[in-house]
Amino acid sequence: MISDWLAFWDSPHSIYANARHKDAHYRLIAQDIAALVPGPNAHVLDYGSGEALHADLVAAAAEQLFLCEASPGLCSFLEGRFVANPKIRVLAPHEVARLPERSLDLIVLHSVTQYLTAAGSGALLALFHRLLKSDGLLLVSDVVPPGLWATTDAWALLRFAAENGFLVEALYGLVRTRFSDYWRLRSNLGLTRYDEAAMIDKLTAAGFTARRTEENIGHNPARMAFLARPR
């Protein structure tokens, strides 16, 4: 499942309606994450960061920001974009696994769980439990609940587009997406979904105390976010 999705994200795609959409998307996520950074000495990991166009906003609030991507193309892009920022390091998943235990203050897993198997996400949460400090914080966000229709995601996108000046382009983009590899993968593989209780149970099994937040990270309020701390 994950290999097919990785191949998609590492190839040219039309998920974003235009450059304004992509910029607004990543800016909002960065602002939301930056608000959770506990202080200027914090070490932060954004696991599955995507293009993270505004990671500098997160880095400005922290001492060190690690961006992790499994896609070689995305890693190269991130390294090139942030080469001049000493606070930002780009890591592959195997490099994250070698970080010192109890060395991170905040870990972010945004819009990733839907592309992982249940076993895969469980192993990742176990790794995060090892890497987080005893008072560290884990954010798992953009979790897709059962019964969430694609049309709900589409309406959330259109509201976001109207607020940020790319509504017409977003309408065309939704049509393109319907006939794209993304839709084929989503139809064939599906997305891994969790209700609130199931995600809290999963985090609890990995050694965390967890709660759902009132609001999701990013533009889609129909998806869920959870904050967790090591027990």
Q: What is the pLDDT along the chain (231 residues), one digit of tens a residue?
A: 567 767 766 766 778 889 999 999 999 999 999 999 999 999 999 999 999 999 999 999 999 999 999 888 899 999 999 999 999 999 999 999 999 999 999 999 999 999 999 999 999 999 999 999 999 999 999 999 999 988 999 999 999 999 999 999 999 888 877 766 676 777 777 789 999 999 999 999 999 999 999 999 999 999 999 999 999
N- to C-terminal Cα distance for the chain? 31
How high is the pLDDT of residue 166?
Answer: 95
Q: What span, in angstroms and rounded, lies between the C-alpha atoms of 88 and 82?
A: 7
How high is the pLDDT of residue 2?
Answer: 67
How high is the pLDDT of residue 197?
Answer: 98
Second CATH level (architecture) for the domain 2-230? 3-Layer(aba) Sandwich (3.40)
* Domain residue extents for the chain: 2-230
Burial per residue of 34-47, b for 16 or more beta-carbon CB atoms within 10 angstroms, e otherwise: bebbeeeebbbbbb
CA atoms within 13 A on the CB side of 167: 6
> 70 phi and psi, to 5 degrees?
-90, -15
The whole-model pTM stands at 0.92
Angle at 75 between CA 26 and CA 173, to 5 degrees: 40
Burial of 11 (0-12, 13-18, 19+ CB in 10 A): exposed
